[in-house]
Amino acid sequence: MCNSILFFRLYLSIILIFLCVFSFFLSRQLLLLLSNNLKLLFLLNNCKKQVNWNENNYISLFSLYIFRENLFLSIALSELILKNNYNFIQKDLVYCSLAYVYYCNSFYSISEYYCLKILSVSPYNYKVILNLANIYSDLGYKTKANNMFIRANKLKFDDFLFS
């Protein structure tokens, strides 16, 4: 009886030591994770205050990502601009960039969405209507594509007559 109690206490001691060591390493990792996340949040808040975005910076950075064929970063940059709601960058430009990137990746429905968003703001932009006609053509919507081509030609012809 005394021998089994001794083994039980030894077993509990070993388990307790193991759990103490394990909890030490676990708490250390959790502390590192928490400190890294806090540093990242602080950095993002500082970056948001100090970064001066304008259209030229956005266009040059977007063009660099497109040139390097890093389409994910170009989408992330555009979504960041939209999320932070910078007023000095035209949203039409960002929507047009997103529509282009999604069109290049053959996500025609998403590209159509951004083209329609541009057209809701400026309905007489014949370049966007022409791009939308190309999207409809690639999707196989021949009548929609034909209507958009006619609309784009009419707007371009009207622009030619009045300029």
Looking up tokens 């999207």 gives 135
| pLDDT given at position 86 | 66
CA distance 131 to 109: 13
| pLDDT given at position 113 | 92
Which tens digits make up the pLDDT trace of 81-95? 888 776 767 788 888
Task: Give Cα separations from 24 to 10, 12, 13, 70 (angstroms).
Answer: 21, 18, 16, 42
Which tens digits make up the pLDDT trace of 14-36? 999 988 888 888 888 888 888 87
CA distance 111 to 118: 11
| pLDDT given at position 61 | 76
Residue partners of 146: CB distance under 8 A and separation at least 6: 133
Task: Give Cα separations from 33 to 22, 30, 157 (angstroms).
Answer: 16, 5, 61
Q: Confirm whether pTM is higher than 0.75.
A: no
Is CATH 1.25.40.10 correct for 53-162?
A: yes
Positions in the chain short of pLDDT 70: 1-2, 40, 43-44, 46-53, 86, 88, 157-163
Parse the chain into domains and list their residue ranges. Answer: 53-162
CA distance 144 to 149: 9
